[in-house]
Structure 1
Amino acid sequence: MTDATRTLVMTGATGGIGLEAAREVLRRSPETHLVLLARESSAARVLPGLRNISPHVSAVPADLAAKDSVGTAAARVEDLLEAGGLPPLRGIVCNAGVHLSDALHTSEDGYELTFAVNVLATHLLLRRLHLQLRAPSRIVVTVSDAHFGDLRHTGGIMPAPRWSEPEVLFRPGAYPRSHRVRSGGRRAYTTSKLGAIHLVHEWARRLPGGIDILSYNPSLVTGTGLPRAMGGSAQFTMKWLVPVLEFTPLVDTPPAAGRKLADVVLGRTSAPTGSYIHRTQAMRSSAESYDADREQALWEWLERQT
């Protein structure tokens, strides 16, 4: 066993706010052994820099768009925990996500790719690893205020989510004009982030005491890869207009957003389980996101996929 005393498993830690948060966690919490779940090439690019901060960093190969790969990665983490190769598991951060130009991309298993990565992979990972968590523990799932889909939260860039039965949402071409950027790719993104909040609410009902799960919304962040995926006028807005706001309280840089995510991961941002954290504080997510029937239906469908 390493001389670290706790393990934190994290997806989406090889770039953007995830990488910044990983750096912050290692700087502030030297007792943490950080395990990255990522593609081998991506992990190889960031591991040397992270290990310059702390020796307690390792990586397990994972492709979040493939069920078998997620299962194999989770099994590897389980084996290491049970054999004493890692200290007790105290946290999971599901930060990875995709935003595509349409809703027609298909995962290896035949699911619409946005939902496969942003919702299904999160559930698969938690399903395998939640029994390994030792209280007190905290699970954090990165979401987006784009799930509101209104002018106040998206500036009109993003369409409102369009919820349907899970078997429809996870199917490529679930929306009218799924081939278009706004009505397809962006709507799949906002709907998947609504789904991720539904999933957090349902997990919060089912996890034992001492194991909390939270949604984290970084809001607008400059300098990420999001503009390339958004396309059209949104690409122009995100690339050229939003950075003008960088020195205002409305927008964060990746290091600032990463520090705030680290605050949530390390428990320095206080909130009860199931909460939605907007940057630095708990608040209510959209009215639509509180729907126990939807949440149970989503859970049951996801369980059938496992």
Structure 2
Amino acid sequence: MTSLADQTILITGATDGLGRALAHQLAVRGASLILHGRSGEKGRELLTELRSSTGNERLSFVRADFASLDEIQALAERLLDVGRLDVLVNNAGIGVERARQESEDGLELTFQVDYLATYVLSCRLAPLLVRSAPARIVNVSSAGQAPIDFSNVMLRHGWDGTQAYCQAKLAQIMLTIDLAEELAGTGVTVNALHPASYMPTKIVTHLFTPQSTIEEGVANTLRLVVEPEFAETTGQYFNRSQTARAAAQAYDVTARARLREISEKLTGTPFPSLHDKDAGR
């Protein structure tokens, strides 16, 4: 495995909560970090804080609002020029919302921010990750999972905030399994995890009482990012630190194929076809 000091790691949703705390842990270990957020002001503040507290100058910030497919695509395009990418941490997301909202693309907001952004970035950056292999994709998902009703994916009928969140998180795990199968043999691993339950982050505290610490969530995420023991582990879902079984739909080949088809149609981004380690070179 490449030394952490020689790695470039992208963390989405890095200006708050778990992403921000993870950025601190990786910065102090000397990794080169690309930190994403939707607020330029928060991004600049984060860079100043990290440089001051860790002495790490190998940090950059990229801005994109995941409520816009155009901005997600533009971010992917920009990142393709970074030269190498050792780890992609898909962490950005919103929680259980109180009311149904649509993105600027007319899509149910939670599905777009929590899942489609992960889909676009993972698929478009896959060739770069293969060129940088050994590399990893870590998807920050949730133990809260609900089957997708493919006749009502955008929840235009009977919208429920919990369903919106839980189906998007299950979709992340379904993508994790598909990408792991597609990238097998390339040196790129793909795993998903539920880092901890109800951490005291802004997507939790507006509705729920915190139960876990951010430190617990960071520790469980960090191990998938850096620990050598996970260098060849792929296609797995972890509940905190333990390998676990996701909701049944994650293992339904037909359901995953339908999700891929919908994802390609909604985003215009094809699922990658990288069957050998030289693909994309």
TM tier, shorter chain? 0.7 to 0.9
Give the match for residue 197 of structure 1.
173
Cα displacement (A) at 1:303: 1.5
Cα displacement (A) at 1:289: 2.4
1:264 aligned onto 2:224: yes
Q: Counterparts in 2 of 1:122-271, with a 5 A limit?
A: 122-133=118-129, 134-147=132-145, 161-165=146-150, 168-169=152-153, 171-174=154-157, 176=158, 178=159, 184-209=160-185, 210-230=187-207, 235=208, 238=209, 242=211, 252-268=212-228, 270=230
Q: Deviations over 1:144-199 (max 9, x none)?
A: 1111xxxxxxxxxxxxx24211x731x2524x2x2xxxxx1111111111111111
Give the match for residue 32 of structure 2.
33
Question: Of the candidates 253, 271, 276, which is equivalent to residue 292 of structure 1?
Answer: 253
- Secondary structure (helix, strand or coil) at the match of 1:59 reads strand
Aligned residues: 256
Q: Deviations over 1:23-58 (max 9, x none)?
A: 111223x2x211012121221221111223111110
- Secondary structure (helix, strand or coil) at the match of 1:226 reads helix
Contact 1:216–1:276 (CA<8 Å) still a contact in 2? yes
- State the TM-score, normalizing by the size of structure 2: 0.85
Contact 1:204–1:274 (CA<8 Å) still a contact in 2? yes
Query: Structure 1 CA distance, aligned partners of 2:184 and 2:73?
Result: 23
- Secondary structure (helix, strand or coil) at the match of 1:13 reads coil
Q: Match of 2:80, as an amino acid?
A: E
Give the match for residue 67 of structure 1.
69
Give the match for residue 93 of structure 1.
89
Give the match for residue 303 of structure 1.
264
Structure 1 stretches of 4+ with a deviation exceeding 4 A read none
Query: Structure 2 CA distance, aligned partners of 1:5 and 1:227?
Result: 34
Contact 2:147–2:170 (CA<8 Å) still a contact in 1? no
Listed as ranges, the gaps of 5+ residues in structure 2 are 269-281
Query: Structure 1 CA distance, aligned partners of 2:226 and 2:127?
Result: 20
Query: Structure 2 CA distance, aligned partners of 1:284 and 1:100?
Result: 23
- Secondary structure (helix, strand or coil) at the match of 1:187 reads helix
Listed as ranges, the gaps of 5+ residues in structure 1 are 82-87, 148-160, 179-183, 243-251
Q: Deviations over 1:277-305 (max 9, x none)?
A: 22123222233321111111111221122
Cα displacement (A) at 1:5: 2.6
The structure-2 alpha-carbon separation of the partners of 1:102 and 1:26, relative to structure 1 and needing over 3 Å to count, comes to same
Q: Deviations over 1:243-301 (max 9, x none)?
A: xxxxxxxxx31123212211111135636211012212322223332111111111122
Cα displacement (A) at 1:103: 5.6
Q: Match of 1:22, as an amino acid?
A: A
Give the match for residue 20 of structure 2.
19
- Secondary structure (helix, strand or coil) at the match of 1:23 reads helix
Query: Structure 1 CA distance, aligned partners of 2:22 and 2:204?
Result: 21
Cα displacement (A) at 1:106: 0.2
- Secondary structure (helix, strand or coil) at the match of 1:168 reads coil
Query: Structure 1 CA distance, aligned partners of 2:96 and 2:199?
Result: 18
Q: Match of 1:23, as an amino acid?
A: H
Query: Structure 1 CA distance, aligned partners of 2:171 and 2:106?
Result: 19
More helix by share: 1
